[in-house]
Amino acid sequence: MTKTYTQRQQEKDANVINYIHKHEVNLMQPNHDIGYKIHFLKVGMKYKYLRVGSNSSGSAYIPVEDCINGRITAAVRSQYNGAISRQKKYKAGKLEDAVEVIPMGQLELKFKQ
């Protein structure tokens, strides 16, 4: 079964890659470009919290700005690597275009008067 790649995911992946390249964000050094990394997660990805522990630890999620630089960098790197991977698979024919299904509750019907 071939996996699908929605238009929304394609646009999101392109935005992730473009942001990282435009701002030349260093994904290898945790202390470099930390402001861009936090901005990317909070504004670009709309993240408020990052997972930093297990559910049994009592505080599995903490605000992005309170995370250590290494955790922030790992989250940004993960988003970037995922986007690159999906684009490569799509170009290689391992992912197919998908038509997004609109849930009935969001479907707008217009009737003739």
For residue 5, what pLDDT band results from cuts at 50, 70 and 90? confident
Q: Tens of pLDDT along 12-28?
A: 999 999 999 999 999 99
Greatest alpha-carbon pair distance for the chain in Å reads 62
Which tokens in the block code for residue 93? 């024919």
For the chain, where are the alpha helices, taking DSSP H only? 7-22, 34-39, 69-91
Exposed e or buried b per residue across 26-50, where buried means at least 16 C-beta atoms within 10 angstroms of its C-beta: bbeebeebbebbbbbbeebbebeeb
Task: For the full predicted model, state whether its pTM sits above 0.75.
Answer: yes
Q: Tens of pLDDT along 67-110?
A: 999 999 999 999 999 999 999 988 888 877 765 556 656 655 55
